Amino acid sequence: MTSEVDVRNRRKASQKRVSSPGKRSGDDSTFVNRELSSEEVRAYRAWRQDTDAIDLIWREAIDDGYKFTIRFDERNNCSVCFMFPAEGHDNHGFILTGRGGTPLRAIAECIYKHSFLFGGAWFEATGGPSGPDDPDW
């Protein structure tokens, strides 16, 4: 059973954030919020048309121990995908994000970043605009 003090301590710790572009820290994890450049957006949009490719990379990531959470983000009015590595994995301590107008697009953006931008090794990077201003959102 979790005590009220434990809950308050965890809540306080989770409110401490490191101010750094493209990166947010929580208790034990850092969010990797990498935006796609205009050129990357074009390549990503062409790639995501192949749903078999999305499925294949998604399955490989699951086989490698990654877990995914997909939900609707009311603040940004979009679907968001969170990709979590297994304990002991090189990416442990990071959470990769993807956003889109549909759950499939959020998943696709997340695994596109994982496979094509980062080659499976996540790091902090910033890029061009993407998101609600994207006409194909």
82 forms beta bridges with 69, 97
Average pLDDT over residues 100-121: 95
Domain extent at residue 41: 21-117
Establish if 67 belongs to a structural domain.
yes
Average pLDDT over residues 101-112: 97
List pLDDT tens digits, range 19-68: 333 444 445 788 898 889 999 999 999 999 999 999 999 999 999 999 99
Establish if 76 belongs to a structural domain.
yes
Residue with tokens 């790091």: 123
Residue 85 gets which letter from DSSP?
Answer: P
Rg value, the chain, Cα? 16
Establish if 127 belongs to a structural domain.
no
DSSP string, 20-37: BTTEEE-SS-EEE-PPPP
The count of domains in the chain is: 1
Q: pTM for this structure?
A: 0.70
Angle made by CA atoms 12, 15, 96, in degrees to the nearest 5: 130
Establish if 10 belongs to a structural domain.
no
Establish if 33 belongs to a structural domain.
yes
Establish if 133 belongs to a structural domain.
no
Give buried/exposed letters for 60-72 (b at 16+ CB in 10 A, else e): ebeeeebebebee
Establish if 124 belongs to a structural domain.
no
Scanning 16-102, the segments in alpha helix (DSSP H) are: 38-47, 51-63
